[in-house]
């Protein structure tokens, strides 16, 4: 079965750039979506279809996807960006169809 691999944690100082990766076999051939989840809250979609930013999401959030790695980049990181981030793809086959989430990455703002 398909597996998405994320680093458990990423730390960055305020004002710097955070890079969160999501690895998967030929993930560049799939559409990747990213969610932000703060403690006690429901997830929020921050990047869809590799690099599209939903309405209301700051331009500081961007995404890319190629080869075996998709990347979420947060520029000029702020304290309010501290959260768990999950990548997600849609996987399908002849006998199955489902969403798949990565294990999540905890972003710590130092």
Helix, strand, coil percentages (3-state) for the chain, rounded to 5, are 5, 50, 45
d(CA 30, CA 23): 12
Give the nearest distance from C-beta 15 to another protein in angstroms: 28
Torsion-angle region of 28 (φ positive above 0: left; ψ -120 to 50: alpha; else: beta):
alpha
| 2 contacts another protein (rule: CB under 8 A) | no
- Each residue 14-33 as x (binds another protein by CB under 8 A) or -, in order, gives -------------------x
Query: What's phi and psi for 52, nearest 5 deg?
Result: -85, 135
Q: CB of 70: closest distance to another protein in angstroms?
A: 13
Candidate residues 5, 7, 28, 37; the one interacting with another protein per rule CB under 8 A: 37
Which parts of this chain interact with another protein (CB under 8 A)?
Answer: 33, 35, 37, 42-45, 48-49, 54, 84, 86, 88, 90, 96-104
């Amino acid at each position: 079965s398909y597996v998405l691999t994320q680093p458990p944690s990423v730390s960055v100082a305020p004002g710097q750039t955070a890079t969160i990766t999501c690895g998967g076999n030929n993930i560049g051939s799939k559409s990747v979506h990213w969610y932000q989840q703060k403690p006690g809250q429901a997830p929020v979609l921050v990047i869809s279809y590799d690099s599209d930013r939903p309405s209301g999401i700051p331009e500081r959030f961007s995404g890319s996807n190629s080869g075996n790695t998709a990347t979420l980049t947060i520029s000029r990181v702020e304290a309010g960006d501290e959260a768990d981030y999950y990548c997600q793809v849609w996987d399908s086959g002849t006998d199955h169809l489902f969403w798949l989430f990565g294990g999540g990455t905890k972003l710590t703002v130092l």
